[in-house]
Structure 1
Amino acid sequence: MTDTSDEAVERLRAALRGAGIVLPSLRVDPVTEVYGGRDTLVDLGSCNLDVASRLAAALRERGE
């Protein structure tokens, strides 16, 4: 499957939302998007300590 960068970010946003996590600064990195392709980066941005803790817990649960 080949997603556009925006589709990939939206899928990540939806998955995070499903885990009760919102990263308000989540976006496609505008500098790398110019070059396109698989090297485009996703900027996860900043989050507060509560969101970081919930993200870590969700990842741990998936790993178990």
Structure 2
Amino acid sequence: MTATERRKEAADRVRAAEDAVARLRAGLASVGVKLPSLRLDPASCAGNEPDPLVDLGRCSIETALRLSAQLEAKAPHDS
């Protein structure tokens, strides 16, 4: 694989991670949850072969409880 191909592949991975963050942000917003620190981890995007990680960041207790309530509401229930 050429250097140009490796750079393109790396850029594609970062772009896919950015898209994942955008989708997650939109999905959370649709249920009333906002994670203010949601972003890509910049260190994981560095270097020649980045392996991007999503940093969910910090949030208030209120936000954590809203997120928990949404997850619990969507969890399968035993019948």
Q: Residue by residue, what CA displacement relative to the aligned partner does 1:39-60 show, whole Å, maximum 9, x if unpaired?
A: 4210011000000000011111
Aligned length in residues: 61
What is the percentage of aligned positions where both structures have the same residue? Answer: 44
- Decide which structure has the larger Cα Rg and report it: 2
What TM-score, normalized by structure 2, do the two folds share? 0.70
Distance in 1 between residues matched to 2:44 and 2:35, nearest whole Å = 20
Given residue 14 of structure 1, which amino acid in structure 2 is its aligned partner?
A
> Gaps spanning 5+ residues in structure 1: where?
none
What TM-score, normalized by structure 1, do the two folds share? 0.85
C-alpha RMSD over aligned residues: 1.6
> Gaps spanning 5+ residues in structure 2: where?
1-12
Given residue 23 of structure 1, which amino acid in structure 2 is its aligned partner?
L
- Give the secondary-structure state (helix, strand or coil) at the position aligned to 2:18: helix
Which aligned runs of 4 or more in structure 1 are off by greater than 4 angstroms? Answer: none
